[in-house]
Chain A
Amino acid sequence: ISSLLLVEHKNKAIASSTFNALTAASKLGGNVIALVAGEDPDPIVSEVSKLQGVSKVLIAKDKVYEHGIAEVYAPLLASTQKQLKFTHLVAPHSAFGKNIMPRVAALLDVAQISDVIGIESPDTFIRPIYAGNAIAKVKSKDPIKVLTVRGTAFPPATISDQTGASSEAAPESEKPALTEWIGEDLQKSDRPELGAATKVVSGGRALKSRENFDKLINNLADSIGAAIGGSRAAVDAGYCDNALQVGQTGKVVAPEFYLAVGISGAIQHVAGMKDSKVIAAINSDPDAPIFQVSDYGLVADLFTVVPELTEKLKKKELN
């Protein structure tokens, strides 16, 4: 067994999901060799070489690798695989990994196993289906296993004190100019990103208007440094942005703490948040299905208790 870990990085920092994917790769047994590609990969390489479990770092230095374009990353991984004969190729199940790894799998004519949450053995994996409403155990019959790993399912790898692992150039590969990167528009919010946040506060249709949503949910979220989410109903009603939708057809989140405000708890929504560690809900309907999945439920009018909760949490922050 030997694994190739595709390192995701942005703005000179390793993406946190890479640390979790490394833990998953280490769990497979055997060596883990990391691949860092980019225009100026050296700072990332020295960081990666210090990670516990990385035995070697391969470097692909070229400006075509700067923006995660799958059309050049996929041939790079495929030719690295063909030359060095890994048994497993591992990446985070992030927008970056999801974009690249299926293309790699197709080039190698093997299946890909998406969103792995458990490793039973080097060929048997656990993954959620139906937005986590069922759990599948699958066994790969292919000689090479291409995996994307759910970050929240594996603890992050640690940085060791030892001198870094050795590094060398990755094999050369084709760089077809199929797609050009034009630019990006990253949310410049002080709030954490929904998919990676440790705390999430979500609002539902009971907020009744966009103004209420902005006022109540934003303040509550900011009082504990949480990301903001919304139910499909809230998105459909225009109370919050589409990008904030938590649910089967929106984002699937699993933070340490999830607070659902004025959300009834349709299957659609619950599928997107039920793997959160602690769930609390505020709803005026004592029979709302959200309470069935909540560790703590408060039956109350949100317009009364949300301001009170926000104030008390703010004070707590100060103390």
Chain B
Amino acid sequence: MANLKILVGCKRVIDYAVKVRVNSTKLAVETAGVKHSLNPFDEIAVEEAIRLREKLGNNVVKEIVALSCGPPKSQEQLRTALAMGVDRAIHVEVGKDDSEATRTLQPLAVAKLFKAIIEKEQANLIILGKQAIDDDASQTGQMLAGLLNWPQATFASKIEISGDKITTTREIDGGLETISSKLPAIVTSDLRLNEPRFVTLPNIMKAKKKPLEKFTPDQLKVDVAPRLENISVTDPPVRKGGTKVDSVDDLISKLKSAGALE
């Protein structure tokens, strides 16, 4: 069995239950004073790394490292990953909290930062969320795999490691697909991969003592300048809902005249 050093991605995003609001600049959504969390798909990635160690043992999974690229407060999400069971964390600080530089950090730049850290750390299994629920890009894992010329197992709902081989069940349109690759490899997690554990208070306390290393993009010699310029961010068109119907018959006739039942 190969020795595994797993690196997991941890993005700080606005919590999924928060109703986002476009801010007064009309260039971004309001982030100040808004609850943030670890991106749900990244939480699944962290969980999967920990489960792999529980399954394969410490002799195989030598170390699990969490990496976040973002503002100073991203350390809160790294602490969450540490409390879940990750060994140590790396933070590539980009921009100040709620700053323009943070908002314009884009997947290609993040993939390049990840590549630099992976080369430094000699990690051989990288697990990332399939997408972040803020920009919904779903790009970083695939870009990283392209930059490294490594295999990619995206939208994974099940992974199995045996020797230096990783077999992945992927969610595709209309069903599932199974692929097999050789490590080192990139995995991106889909919703069905697992259900993340809750962090316990003792583990939160323990996480505070775990090591957290800091870098800047300059130290890693990565240009993080945005390639896409945000022209505007606006509210979506408002639906005029709220019409009530009285009965099933009323509903059917309304739906018929709206052409919904054709």
Q: Which of B108, B173, B247 lies in contact with A193, CB distance below 8 A?
A: B173
Q: Residue A219 at the B interface, CB < 8 A?
A: no
Q: Residue B68 at the A interface, CB < 8 A?
A: no
Query: What CA separation (Å) do A110 and B241 show in the bound complex?
Result: 41
Partner-contacting stretch, out of B58-66, B93-101, B133-141, B201-209: B133-141
Contact digits for B77-107, partner A, Cβ 8 Å, 1 yes 0 no:
0000000000000000000000000000011
Query: What CA separation (Å) do A112 and B233 show in the bound complex?
Result: 18
Chain B interface bracket (under 10, 10 to 19, 20 to 34, 35 or more):
35 or more
Contact digits for B165-192, partner A, Cβ 8 Å, 1 yes 0 no:
0010011111111111110000000011
Which residues of chain A have C-beta atoms less than 8 A from B251's C-beta? Answer: 280, 296, 298, 309
Which residues of chain B have C-beta atoms less than 8 A from A296's C-beta? Answer: 243-245, 251, 254-255, 258
Min CB–CB distance A241 → chain B (angstroms): 9
User: CB distance A299 to B244 under 8 Å?
Assistant: yes
**A-B pair number, CB within 8 angstroms:** 260
Query: What CA separation (Å) do A148 and B167 show in the bound complex?
Result: 27
Query: What CA separation (Å) do A107 and B16 show in the bound complex?
Result: 32
Q: Residue B113 at the A interface, CB < 8 A?
A: no
Q: Which of A74, A140, A242 lies in contact with B227, CB distance below 8 A?
A: A140
User: CB distance A178 to B172 under 8 Å?
Assistant: no
Contact digits for A159-201, partner B, Cβ 8 Å, 1 yes 0 no:
0000000000000000010111111111100000101100100
Q: Which of A136, A182, A185 has the most CB of B within 10 A?
A: A136
Min CB–CB distance B131 → chain A (angstroms): 9
Partner-contacting stretch, out of A32-40, A53-61, A287-295: A287-295
Partner-contacting stretch, out of B119-127, B142-150, B213-221: B142-150
Min CB–CB distance A119 → chain B (angstroms): 13
Q: Which of B107, B138, B244, B248 has the most CB of A within 10 A?
A: B248
A interface majority secondary structure? mixed
Query: What CA separation (Å) do A101 and B173 show in the bound complex?
Result: 16
Which residues of chain B have C-beta atoms less than 8 A from A67's C-beta? Answer: 177
Q: Residue B72 at the A interface, CB < 8 A?
A: no
Q: Residue A70 at the B interface, CB < 8 A?
A: yes
User: Given A103-B152, A249-B191, do A291 and B241 touch, yes or no (CB 8 Å)?
Assistant: yes
Min CB–CB distance A306 → chain B (angstroms): 9
User: CB distance A179 to B180 under 8 Å?
Assistant: yes
Q: A: which residues have CB within 8 A of B?
A: 15, 67, 69-71, 74, 94-96, 98-107, 109-115, 124, 128-142, 176, 178-187, 193, 195-196, 199, 224, 242-243, 245, 248-250, 256-257, 266-268, 274-275, 277-280, 286, 291-299, 305, 308-309, 312-313, 316
Q: B: which residues have CB within 8 A of A?
A: 14, 16-20, 22, 29, 40-41, 106-108, 111, 133-147, 149-155, 167, 170-182, 191-192, 226-236, 239, 241-252, 254-255, 258-261
The 6 closest A-B pairs by CB, nearest first: A106-B146, A186-B175, A102-B142, A111-B227, A102-B139, A106-B143
